[in-house]
Structure 1
Amino acid sequence: MFRVALSALLGAGLIALATPTVAQETKPKEKPKALPRIAVDDPAKLKDDADFATQGEYEGELTIDGKSEKVGAQVVALGDGKFSLKGYHGGLPGAGWNDTKPNTHPAARDGDKVVISNEKGEPMGDIKGGVITVSTDKIKGSLKKVERKSPTLGAKPPEGAVVLFGEPGDEKNWQGGKLIELSDGKFLNFGIRSKQSFGSFKAHVEFRLPWMPNSRGQGRGNSGFYLQDRYEVQVLDSFGLKGENNECGGVYTQYAPTVNMCFPPLEWQTYDIDFTAAAFDADGKKTAPARLTLVHNGVKVHDNVELKGPTGGGQPEKATPGPIQLQNHGDPLAYRNIWVVEKK
Structure 2
Amino acid sequence: MSKYALLLIPTLFGMSAIAQEKTDPAKEAAKTEIWEPVPKIVTPGNLPQDAPSDAIVLFNGRNLDEWHSVKDPSKPAAWTIDDGFFTVKKGTGNIETNKKFTDYQLHMEWKIPANITGTDQARGNSGVFLASTGPGDDGYEIQIMDAYKNKTYVNGQTGSVYKQSIPLANANKKPGEWQYYDIIWNAPRFNEDGSVSKPASVTVFLNGVLLQNNFVLKGETRWIGAPEYKKHGAASIKLQDHGDPSPPISFRNIWVREL
- Output the TM-score relative to the length of structure 1: 0.51
Aligned to 1:340: 256
Aligned to 1:267: 177
2:164 is matched by which residue type in structure 1? Answer: Q
Q: Does 1:206 align with 2:109?
A: yes
1:272 is matched by which residue type in structure 2? Answer: D
The answer to whether the Cα contact below 8 Å between 1:225 and 1:324 also exists between their aligned partners in 2 is yes
* Structure 2 CA distance for aligned equivalents of residues 240 and 252 of structure 1: 19
Greater shift after overlay, 237-246 or 256-265?
Answer: 237-246
Shift of 1:332: 1.1
Shift of 1:179: 5.8
Q: Identity percentage over the alignment?
A: 35
Give CA deviations for 1:198-224 in whole Å, capped at 9, x if unaligned: 111110000011235541011110000
1:21-36 equivalence runs, <5 A: none
* Structure 1 CA distance for aligned equivalents of residues 48 and 228 of structure 2: 31
Shift of 1:195: 0.8
Q: Does 1:231 align with 2:140?
A: yes
2:97 is matched by which residue type in structure 1? Answer: S
After superposition, the Cα gap between the structure-2 partners of 1:325 and 1:213, relative to the gap in structure 1 and judged at 3 Å, is closer
The answer to whether the Cα contact below 8 Å between 1:236 and 1:248 also exists between their aligned partners in 2 is yes
Aligned to 1:173: 66
Greater shift after overlay, 324-333 or 293-302?
Answer: 324-333
2:51 is matched by which residue type in structure 1? Answer: P
* Structure 2 CA distance for aligned equivalents of residues 285 and 196 of structure 1: 25
SS in 1 for 2:175: coil
Tell me, which stretches of 5 or more residues in structure 1 are unaligned?
1-151
Aligned to 1:249: 159
Aligned to 1:107: none
Tell me, which stretches of 5 or more residues in structure 2 are unaligned?
1-45, 69-75, 89-93, 133-138
1:270 is matched by which residue type in structure 2? Answer: Y
The answer to whether the Cα contact below 8 Å between 2:109 and 2:180 also exists between their aligned partners in 1 is yes
Q: Which structure is richer in relative contact order (CA contacts within 8 A, separation 6 or more)?
A: 2
* Structure 1 CA distance for aligned equivalents of residues 47 and 124 of structure 2: 20
* Structure 2 CA distance for aligned equivalents of residues 203 and 186 of structure 1: 19
After superposition, the Cα gap between the structure-2 partners of 1:320 and 1:311, relative to the gap in structure 1 and judged at 3 Å, is same
SS in 2 for 1:305: strand
SS in 2 for 1:338: strand
Aligned to 1:188: 86
CA RMSD of superposed structures (Å): 2.4
After superposition, the Cα gap between the structure-2 partners of 1:241 and 1:153, relative to the gap in structure 1 and judged at 3 Å, is farther
Give CA deviations for 1:41-95 in whole Å, capped at 9, x if unaligned: xxxxxxxxxxxxxxxxxxxxxxxxxxxxxxxxxxxxxxxxxxxxxxxxxxxxxxx
Shift of 1:272: 0.2
Greater shift after overlay, 226-235 or 211-220?
Answer: 211-220
1:322 is matched by which residue type in structure 2? Answer: A
The answer to whether the Cα contact below 8 Å between 2:104 and 2:184 also exists between their aligned partners in 1 is yes
* Structure 1 CA distance for aligned equivalents of residues 96 and 228 of structure 2: 13
The answer to whether the Cα contact below 8 Å between 2:120 and 2:151 also exists between their aligned partners in 1 is no
Larger fraction in strand: 1
Give CA deviations for 1:118-141 in whole Å, capped at 9, x if unaligned: xxxxxxxxxxxxxxxxxxxxxxxx
Shift of 1:154: 6.8
* Structure 1 CA distance for aligned equivalents of residues 220 and 169 of structure 2: 23
* Structure 2 CA distance for aligned equivalents of residues 166 and 248 of structure 1: 25
- Output the TM-score relative to the length of structure 2: 0.67
1:75-90 equivalence runs, <5 A: none
SS in 1 for 2:114: coil
The answer to whether the Cα contact below 8 Å between 1:177 and 1:189 also exists between their aligned partners in 2 is no
The answer to whether the Cα contact below 8 Å between 1:189 and 1:335 also exists between their aligned partners in 2 is yes
The answer to whether the Cα contact below 8 Å between 2:179 and 2:207 also exists between their aligned partners in 1 is yes
1:1-344 equivalence runs, <5 A: 155-169=49-63, 171-175=64-68, 176-178=76-78, 180-182=80-82, 185-190=83-88, 191-212=94-115, 214-229=117-132, 230-241=139-150, 244-312=154-222, 317-330=230-243, 331-343=247-259
Shift of 1:317: 3.3
After superposition, the Cα gap between the structure-2 partners of 1:228 and 1:160, relative to the gap in structure 1 and judged at 3 Å, is same
